[in-house]
Amino acid sequence: MRFTNDILIILLATVLFAGYAMIKGNLRSSEVFTATAYCSCVKCCNKNPSDRRYGITATGTVAQWGTVAVDRNVIKLESRLRIEGFPNTTFRAEDVGEAIKGNHIDIWFPSHEEALNFGIKKMAVYSY
Ligand SMILES: [Zn+2]
């Protein structure tokens, strides 16, 4: 029975650790997200080029290819992300948005046209 108790303790520790990792806001495996796209323009970000915070993300970085807006309750800010369909890009959860809630990511593009062309997709996302 001693052996069984050890196994139970290990299982309990594993469950607690997994729960902690989830609370910390990192996905433990890939999940399907709704992916949309945005750029730094006033339509997407409500900031004009003359605004001090124009093109600056919630984490203070300059928005660039690889920048992704997330729900910080789902994906911890500053996590790195892998997104289905972009095998050569390591994305970063650097931004947030009022409309970005739950399993929804918003991928930054350099122009509004490119963001519009991206449209809305369902994509597997893995954060680490
Ligand atoms: Zn835009």
Is the whole-model pTM more than 0.75?
yes
Question: What's the CA-to-centroid distance between 88 and ligand 1, angstroms?
Answer: 24
pLDDT confidence of residue 11: 56
Question: What's the CA-to-centroid distance between 31 and ligand 1, angstroms?
Answer: 26
Question: What's the CA-to-centroid distance between 76 and ligand 1, angstroms?
Answer: 24
Give residue-wise pLDDT tens across range 39-94.
999 999 999 999 999 999 999 999 999 999 999 999 999 999 999 999 999 999 99
Question: What's the CA-to-centroid distance between 114 and ligand 1, angstroms?
Answer: 9
Question: Contact 36/118 with Cβ under 8 angstroms?
Answer: yes
Residue-averaged pLDDT of the chain: 88
Domains (ranges, CATH) in the chain? 2-127 (2.40.40.10)
Specify which residues 67 forms β-bridges with. Answer: 92
Max alpha carbon distance in the chain (Å)?
71
Question: What's the CA-to-centroid distance between 37 and ligand 1, angstroms?
Answer: 9
**For residue 35, is pLDDT > 70?**
yes
pLDDT confidence of residue 29: 79
Question: What's the CA-to-centroid distance between 11 and ligand 1, angstroms?
Answer: 48
